[in-house]
Amino acid sequence: MIARPLAGRGQALLVLAFLAPALLLLALFVVAPAVSAVLFSFTDLALRGPGALAPKIVGLGNYTRLFGDQSFVDAFGRSVSFVFFSAIIGQFVLGLVAALLLARKGIVGKGLFGAAILMPLVVPETVAALAWASMYAPDARGTLNLLVGLVGQEPVAWLVANPMLAIIIVNIWRGVAFAMILFAAALEGVPREVVEAAMVDGASAWQQLTRITLPLIKHAIVLYMLLTTIGTFTVFGLIYFLTRGGPGGGTTVMSVFIYERAFHFAEIGLGSAASVIMLGIVLAIGLFYVRALRAQI
C-alpha cells in the first residue's frame, strides 16, 4: 500500500508545524535582540546617568558620532587585520596543511596528530585564555619566557611587546582544528582516480594540489571562509581575557569596542549603533561568500 502524499496546503502546515519550535527560538533569541539593537541605536539609552532615566531619540546621532570617532575607525581596522591574519591566512593555511597530511597514506601517528590539533577546539574559551596567559606571562616563569631563557634571552612581556600578533597566534591555535576537520571531510570526496590519472600524466605534487585537489574542494573552502570570517569578527572572550583591548588600545577590535561602550560605560544606544554597523559588515561579507558559493554550483 502506498501512502498518499498530503495535499499542498496540508503539507505546508505540516512543514510549518515542524519548523515552528526552531523559528520561535530564532525569533526570540536572535531576531528580537537584533531588532532591539537597531531600535536602541537611534536613542541615547544608557544604564547609568541621565540616559537611563529619560532616554531620548537621537536619530542618526550615534552613527554620526561613531563615523567621526577615530577610535571606532581604528577598531574596525584592527578587526580586519585580526580576521585576515588569524582566520583567512593562519587558520586556513595550517588547517589545509594538516588535512592534507592526514589524508596521506603511510603517515605514522595520524591519530595522535589529529587529536593534538583537535584539542584547542574542545577547550572552553576561558580555559584557553588562561592557558595562553600563562604562556605569555611576562616574568621568567612564563612558558614562552622559560623557552627563550634556555637560549639566554631576557624575559619578554609578549602581550605588551606585540599584543596583536600574540592574539592572532592564539586565535590560529584555537581555530585550526575546525579548518582541518572541514578540509579533511572535503578531501575524502576527491575522486582517487582523478588524482591517479594526473600522476600518470606526470603532474607534480604541487600541480596535483593546485590544479586537481583545491578546485575540487573549492566549495568547502568558500564555506570555511564564510564561517571563519564571521566567527573571527565576533571573537571577544579570548581577546578580552588576554589583553582587555590593550595595551594602548592596541587590541581593541570591534567586539571589544562594542563591549566597552555598551557595558563598561553603559551606553546602550551607542553600543547598539556600533553593533548594527558590525552586523551590516558581517552581512555584507556573508552575502559575498554566499554568492561565491552559488557560483560554484
Partner 1 sequence: MRAPKILALFAAAVMVASACQAAATPTPVPATTAPGQTTAPPAETPTPPPAEPITLTLLEHQELRIAALKKILPLFESKMEAEGKNVKVNLVELVIPDEEFRTKVTLEYGGDNPADITSYPGAWVPDFATAGYLLDITDRLAAWPDWEAHFYAILRERAQQADGKYYSMPRHGTVIEFFYRKDVLDANGISTAQPQSWDELIQRLTDLHAKTGLPAVTLPAGTTWGGGTFDEGFIHIFNGTGGTLYDTATGKWVVKSQALTDAFTFYATLQQNGLLPTDALLASEPWEPTKYDGFTGTLADGTAIDIAPPITTQGSWGWIYDWGPDGARPIDGIFDKVGVWAFPSKASGDTFVWAAEDWMWTISAKSKHPDEAFELLKFLNTADALAIDAAAVGNLAPRDDIRDVAPYKDMWYLIQMEELLPTGRSFKAQVGIDKIQQAVGQATEQILLGKMDGPQAADFFAQTATSLLGADKVEEQP
Residues near partner 1, by CB under 8 A: 26, 30-31, 33-34, 36-37, 40, 45-55, 65, 69-72, 133, 138, 157, 160, 219, 223, 226-227, 230-231, 233-234, 244, 246-249, 255, 258, 262-266, 268, 271-272, 275-276, 278-279, 282-283, 286-287, 289-290, 293-294, 296-297
If residue 200 lies in a helix (H) or strand (E), which one and from where to where? helix 192-200
Question: CB of residue 296 vs partner 1: minimum separation in angstroms?
Answer: 6
Question: Which residue in 255, 246, 242 sits closest to 79, CA to CA?
Answer: 255
- Grid cell, residue 44, equals 541615547
- The whole-angstrom distance between residue 126's C-alpha and the CA centroid of its chain comes to 16
- Grid cell, residue 278, equals 558590525
Question: CB of residue 157 vs partner 1: minimum separation in angstroms?
Answer: 6
Question: CB of residue 68 vs partner 1: minimum separation in angstroms?
Answer: 8
Question: CB of residue 195 vs partner 1: minimum separation in angstroms?
Answer: 20
- Grid cell, residue 81, equals 587585520
Q: What sign for the dihedral angle of Cα 175, 180, 183, 185?
A: negative
Question: CB of residue 1 vs partner 1: minimum separation in angstroms?
Answer: 29
* Closer by beta carbon to partner 1, 21 or else 111: 21
* Closer by beta carbon to partner 1, 114 or else 128: 128
Name the DSSP class of 57.
Answer: B
Question: CB of residue 220 vs partner 1: minimum separation in angstroms?
Answer: 8
Question: CB of residue 93 vs partner 1: minimum separation in angstroms?
Answer: 21
The DSSP secondary structure of 146-195, one letter per residue, reads HHHHHTTPPP--HHHHSHHHHHHHHHHHHHHHHHHHHHHHHHHTS-HHHH
Question: CB of residue 37 vs partner 1: minimum separation in angstroms?
Answer: 5
* Closer by beta carbon to partner 1, 17 or else 297: 297
* Cβ neighbour number for residue 69 with a 10 Å cutoff: 15
* Closer by beta carbon to partner 1, 72 or else 85: 72
The DSSP secondary structure of 246-265, one letter per residue, reads -STTTT--HHHHHHIIIIIS
* Closer by beta carbon to partner 1, 71 or else 126: 71
Interatomic CA distance for residues 268 and 46, integer angstroms: 5
* Closer by beta carbon to partner 1, 90 or else 271: 271
* Closer by beta carbon to partner 1, 114 or else 171: 171
Interatomic CA distance for residues 114 and 101, integer angstroms: 10
* Closer by beta carbon to partner 1, 33 or else 215: 33
**Assign residue 248 a region: left if phi > 0, alpha if psi is -120 to 50, beta otherwise?**
left
* Cβ neighbour number for residue 67 with a 10 Å cutoff: 12
